[in-house]
Amino acid sequence: MASVSLLAEGGRGGRLRRPTATTGFWSWITTVDHKRIGILYGFTAFLFFLIGGIEALLIRLQLARPDGTVLSAEAYNEFFTMHGITMIFLVVMPLSAAFFNYLIPLQIGARDVAFPRLNAFTYWAFLAGGLFIYSSFFLGGAPNAGWFGYAPLSTVEPGNNMLFYALGLLMTGIASTASAVNLSVTIINMRAPGMTMFRMPVFIWMGLVVQLLLVFALPIITVGLFQMLFDRRFGTHFFDPAAGGDPVLWQHMFWLFGHPEVYILVLPAMGIVSEVLPVFARKPLFGYQFVVFSGIAIGFIGFGVWAHHMFAVGLGPVANTAFAVSTMIIAVPTGVKIFNWLGTLWKGDIRFTTPMLFAIGFIAQFVVGGLSGVTHAVVPADYQQTDTYYIVAHFHYVLVGGAIFGLFSGIYYWWPKMFGRMLDERLGKIQFWSMAIGFNLTFGPMHILGLQGMPRRIQSYPASLGLDFWNLVATAGAFVIAASVLLFMVIAVRSFRRPKDAAADPWDARTLEWMTSSPPPAHNFDEIPIVRSLDELWHRKYAETETGVVVSVPAGGSGTGEGHGGGEGVGHGIHLPGPSYYPFVASVGLPLIGYGVIFQWWMAVVGVVVLLAGLYGWAMEPSAE
Amino acid sequence: MRKLSRLVPGGIALALVAAACAPNASQDSLRPAGPYAEKIDNLFKPVFWIATLVFFVVEGLLLYLVVRYRHRNGRQGIPPQVHGNQRLEIAWTILPALILVGVAVPTVSTIYDLAAQPTGRVLNVSVIGHQWWWEFDYPDLNVNTANELVIPVGQPVYLSLCAAGAGYDKQPAPNDCQDVSEIIGDSVIHSFWVPRLGGKQDVVPGRINHLLIQADRAGVYPGQCAEFCGLSHAYMRFSVVAQPRDEFDAWVGGQQADAATPPGGSLAATGLNEFLNGQCIACHAIQGTDAAAIGGPNLTHLMSRTCFRGCTMPISAANLKRWLRNPQAVEAGSWMRLNPPLTEGQIKSLVAYLMTLT
């Protein structure tokens, strides 16, 4: 520290002084507050959600009738590729990251994450990667070989389209890896006194599993993307069979990442649902340990099922059998979770708030995705189903009916905490119903379309296939979803038109984040809570008599009053990490390096200089006073 | 309202069952027309009904719970805090596992069944995936054709699948996929799929995969490439034409013959001259002439086929002319690059010649 303060006091110190703004534009650029970073993640992910949704609508318009003429083949291929990339890497992952960033410190009773500036960097690197990929639309064409980027198509197609894919995903991969390390360390090391691992909320457990999945899965795709980059840019032959390479190698690399990725996308939503159901059923989660261990089991087994994406590749009956069995095995812990959620509802006192409706919708729809998933494990059936709309239906039931519904549940549930405002319950319910109806109208018929022989990723289909009717229904459903999303935006904007009305604990919830004010102060808790049990907040509010009757603990007992945290003038003595310009500066270097690799090498040199300058400033800046 | 939510997925399951019988879907995987597709169907159907049963049990339970335990006005107090029930939880871990064991056993046996080498009389066909058309080579019959796979009814057809790329025309003709491994070029992955006769098999550059299909009734079975393979992936279709034995034998005889030479002085003769001295000969073969390149479809008996351009356009003089005027305008990214473009006169004579290739 001594040398740092010397620098700060010396002639060059002015450049290294830390920013101090707490409001306005620069406060957002320089923030290292996990709550603000979470909000940035969420807001950005929602913008990408709108873009990816518009791409989906264009796809559905093109397919509404046979021989569609809305999009050219090139435009169609770019849009379905970008729809996949956007929804996976720029929507569901960062939206989950938004919840993790915002909630992990609050739910474990910490003041921030372990590495606040690294946390800021992950957001800016994610944004840089997303903008970089989307800039391809203006620089010669967007990625067009599918989100799965199968070689050799992805390496022999002319144009820079897939270079943007490889480089952009490397950037978002840097963001996700750094974030995963950061959040894992946070969960493992920064829990409040008394919060043992088995007193952590299930959302935190699922968060931990997801971060560890990311830590182990992302390096695999990173290597694969570098191989693709090298094949395209430097003439290597990793995936070129004519020179001894192997296209199937890419598929193994991609899916060895890609299947854990599925759980990376859906476990956060499972965690959210596991928080929401107990609160609105007014009962603890049924079989907490079972749910936790099934999540851990899913994390482990998730690395052993990747080749079920490749049953038609020709790996042979032995490999196909092995992966069929492992895929069926992973269905068991998933089923366990469903039954435990049902057990949570059993004998509850269920309140149908909007977050609860989305959570119940999640269960109802995830069951469909799970069951169709089991039919894929039946390898011969998958010979028919793979690469058809049946698969499209399946994973949208998992990722929209599951993940997105779960995330919406989380949005409605934690919005009051994040912004201090309740969302309109009446409109929220309308939004839930329109989304559920639109979703099932869109993706339900796709099961039929796939079984009736409609392959994926086709720009058009002839009338002779007899697929018109259900395609039209699916397109109609897509617009119902769009209307529902628009309604959500209205609800969100309306909430800001009114004064803050959310109490610290508006849902009578069970976990620590509801002990502090809504929204929480910068330092989260005036006093770090001491945790004595699972569902700590609930136990501070209620006690069970010996016969199991639940009684309120009188206010002022060991409970918490409203505004426990965040009162004016409170918390001044608490040390908080200071804001910094450098995470942002460092992230600016990444896309410059990317453009350099694609266009002109000098740009990459500039990018490296910017990145190093950011890292240097980051390392050398003084700690905040 | 609440009941409606549970009815939506249930209604969809019913609609699925109803629509499974739709008679007009020509690529319907639920209407198998041969033993290999039937084996798959016989496995899928029971699994589907098991899944449907589980669906109704779980969704029914969910519906029951949310109705039965909904908050009622006036209810006071907090429900008993039940934390779990180990016996129940072990039960609902083991029960799905047992169901899955029941599903796994026939799955594994069918995997091996479908992968078994056929015995008895088998027709060998090499299937070569190009961007964006299918080449069908019959190595034992010395027949090479495109986009329409003609097979005899009731006989297993053993397919060897491989991919060929743009560099293909520089190499000797393949009699089977063994040779194609030399000429991969810029080939990409395709997937051969004719739903009513069998499952899919990917066509992977540098590998030779195999697939068995068989049709038990004469007819035309449409299929298409199922792995995204670039710009015109949607237009990489084909038909399997299953014919009775004698018709098939006659077809083979016709295919083995050389192309007829048009009478001198006719427009078709001008077209032949144009073909042999122009750009066509660089990529196309016509048996009985000097044209022997293999980059594009073999045209020897073009008129014996019904479709071209990945079997998405019927063969007719008008369509052939449209194609020859500007292939890229008809098929995005087509590898048939005419430079310079053909004149109207050339097109007229070429089409006149092509129409003689019966």
A497 touching B (Cβ < 8 Å):
no
Tell me how far apart the 2 most distant CA atoms of chain A are, in Å: 79
Query: How many contacts does A have with B, using Cβ atoms within 8 A?
Result: 322
pLDDT band at B207 (very low <50, low <70, confident <90, very high): confident
A340 touching B (Cβ < 8 Å):
yes
CB-CB contact of A428 with A489 (8 Å):
no
pLDDT of residue A20: 79
pLDDT band at A490 (very low <50, low <70, confident <90, very high): very high
Buried b (16+ CB within 10 A) or exposed e, B89-113: beebbeebbebbeebbebbbebbee
Average pLDDT over residues A545-549: 81
**Per-residue pLDDT reduced to its tens digit, A449-464:** 999 999 999 999 999 9
How many CA atoms does the CB half-sphere of A273 hold within 13 Å? Answer: 30
Reading the block at residue A78, the tokens are 């770019």
Is B74's pLDDT higher than 70?
Answer: yes
A380:B110 CB<8 A = yes
d(CA A268, CA A213): 12
A337 touching B (Cβ < 8 Å):
no
d(CA A43, CA A94): 10
pLDDT band at B306 (very low <50, low <70, confident <90, very high): very high
pLDDT of residue B180: 52
Q: How far is A385 from chain B (nearest CA, A)?
A: 8
Q: For an interface test with A, give the residue of B95, B111, B328 to mutate (most A CBs within 10 A).
A: B111
Give the nearest chain B residue to A290 (CA atoms).
B89
Residue A165, classed as helix, strand or coil, is helix
pLDDT band at A557 (very low <50, low <70, confident <90, very high): very low
Q: How far is B107 from chain A (nearest CA, A)?
A: 6
Give the nearest chain B residue to A345 (CA atoms).
B65
Buried b (16+ CB within 10 A) or exposed e, A396-422: bbbbbbbbbbbbbbbbbbbbbbbbbbb
B231:A74 CB<8 A = yes
Is A10's pLDDT higher than 50?
Answer: no
A345:B69 CB<8 A = yes
Average pLDDT over residues B210-226: 96
**Per-residue pLDDT reduced to its tens digit, A28-48:** 999 999 999 999 999 999 999
CB-CB contact of B157 with B202 (8 Å):
no
Q: Given A314, A364, A371, which is nearest B201 (Cβ)?
A: A314
pLDDT of residue A64: 97
Rounded to 5 degrees, what are φ and ψ at A200? -75, 145
A324:B104 CB<8 A = yes
d(CA A200, CA A61): 46
Q: Burial level of B76, CB count in 10 A (0-12/13-18/19+)?
A: exposed
B201:A312 CB<8 A = yes
A328:B55 CB<8 A = no
Give the nearest chain B residue to A346 (CA atoms).
B65
Q: How far is A448 from chain B (nearest CA, A)?
A: 6
Q: Among A70-79, A93-102, A268-277, B169-178, which stretch is predicted with the lowest mean pLDDT?
A: B169-178
d(CA A467, CA A476): 15
pLDDT of residue B24: 79
B89:A287 CB<8 A = yes
d(CA A360, CA B10): 15
Is A478's pLDDT higher than 80?
Answer: yes
Residue A155, classed as helix, strand or coil, is helix
pLDDT of residue A2: 38
Is B86's pLDDT higher than 60?
Answer: yes
d(CA A45, CA A165): 18
d(CA A437, CA B149): 43
**Per-residue pLDDT reduced to its tens digit, B281-297:** 988 999 999 998 878 89
A380:B114 CB<8 A = yes
Q: How far is A153 from chain B (nearest CA, A)?
A: 5
Strand blocks (E) in chain B: 123-130, 133-138, 143-146, 148-152, 157-163, 190-192, 201-203, 209-213, 219-224, 237-243, 307-308, 313-314
Alpha carbon separation from A72 to A84, A460, B231, B326 (Å, rounded): 18, 10, 9, 17
Reading the block at residue B96, the tokens are 């799905």
Place of tokens 């939506």: B8
* Residues of chain B with C-beta less than 8 angstroms from the C-beta of A77: 228, 230-231, 233
d(CA A62, CA A471): 10
Chain B, 43 to 72: residues with Cβ < 8 Å from chain A are 43-44, 47-48, 51, 54-55, 58-59, 61-62, 65-66, 69-71
A572 touching B (Cβ < 8 Å):
no
B69:A348 CB<8 A = yes
> What is the residue-wise DSSP string for A245-291?
--HHHHHHHHHHHHHHHHHHHHHHHHHHHHHHHHHHHTSPPTTHHHH
**Per-residue pLDDT reduced to its tens digit, A366-399:** 999 999 999 999 999 999 999 999 999 999 999 9
Chain A, 144 to 163: residues with Cβ < 8 Å from chain B are 145-146, 150, 152-153, 156-157
Reading the block at residue A126, the tokens are 């994610």
Rounded to 5 degrees, what are φ and ψ at A348? -85, -175
A284 touching B (Cβ < 8 Å):
yes
Buried b (16+ CB within 10 A) or exposed e, A535-554: bbbbbbbbeeeeeeebeeee
d(CA A386, CA B355): 39
A342:B55 CB<8 A = no
Q: Given B70, B165, B185, which is nearest A352 (Cβ)?
A: B70
Cis, peptide link before residue B340, omega less than 30° from 0: yes
Q: Which of A220-224, A498-502, A544-548 has the highest mean pLDDT?
A: A220-224
Q: How far is A569 from chain B (nearest CA, A)?
A: 37
Give the nearest chain B residue to A435 (CA atoms).
B5
Is A236's pLDDT higher than 80?
Answer: yes
Reading the block at residue A11, the tokens are 């002639």
Is A548's pLDDT higher than 50?
Answer: yes
B188 touching A (Cβ < 8 Å):
yes
pLDDT of residue A560: 46
Q: For an interface test with B, give the residue of A339, A464, A473 to mutate (most B CBs within 10 A).
A: A339
Share of chain A above pLDDT 90, in %: 87
Alpha carbon separation from B57 to A277, A360, A506, B92 (Å, rounded): 20, 16, 35, 13
d(CA B271, CA A85): 49
B97:A248 CB<8 A = no
Q: For an interface test with B, give the residue of A156, A400, A533 to mutate (most B CBs within 10 A).
A: A156
Give the nearest chain B residue to A151 (CA atoms).
B188
Q: For an interface test with B, give the residue of A383, A387, A510, A549 to mutate (most B CBs within 10 A).
A: A383
Give the nearest chain A residue to B76 (CA atoms).
A349
Give, for A551, the enclosing helix (H) or strand (E): strand A550-552
Average pLDDT over residues B49-70: 96
Is A203's pLDDT higher than 50?
Answer: yes
How many CA atoms does the CB half-sphere of B123 hold within 13 Å? Answer: 25
Chain B, 333 to 352: residues with Cβ < 8 Å from chain A are 333
d(CA A176, CA A126): 8
A557 touching B (Cβ < 8 Å):
no
Give, for A330, the enclosing helix (H) or strand (E): helix A317-345
Share of chain B above pLDDT 70, in %: 88
* Residues of chain A with C-beta less than 8 angstroms from the C-beta of B97: 332
CB-CB contact of A413 with A276 (8 Å):
yes
Minimal CA–CA distance to A457: which of A8, A12, A153?
A153
Q: How far is B41 from chain A (nearest CA, A)?
A: 7
Q: Given B43, B104, B195, which is nearest A325 (Cβ)?
A: B104
Please list the residues that pair with B313 across neighbouring strands: B308
More confident site: A366 or B12: A366
B84:A287 CB<8 A = yes
A153:B230 CB<8 A = yes
Q: How far is B164 from chain A (nearest CA, A)?
A: 11
Please provide the average confidence, as pLDDT, over all residues in chain B.
89
| Predicted-complex ipTM score | 0.91
B110 touching A (Cβ < 8 Å):
yes
Q: Given B29, B61, B184, which is nearest A451 (Cβ)?
A: B29
Is A234's pLDDT higher than 50?
Answer: yes
Minimal CA–CA distance to A84: which of A250, A261, A345?
A261
Minimal CA–CA distance to A99: which of A257, A211, A177, A22?
A211
Average pLDDT over residues A594-620: 95
pLDDT of residue A43: 97
pLDDT of residue A258: 96
Is A218's pLDDT higher than 60?
Answer: yes
Q: Burial level of A330, CB count in 10 A (0-12/13-18/19+)?
A: buried
Please provide the average confidence, as pLDDT, over all residues in chain A.
92
Chain B, 214 to 253: residues with Cβ < 8 Å from chain A are 222, 224-234
pLDDT band at B181 (very low <50, low <70, confident <90, very high): very low
B84:A286 CB<8 A = yes
**Per-residue pLDDT reduced to its tens digit, A136-170:** 999 999 999 999 999 999 998 889 999 999 999 99
d(CA B210, CA B200): 10
More confident site: B218 or A241: B218
Cis, peptide link before residue A519, omega less than 30° from 0: yes
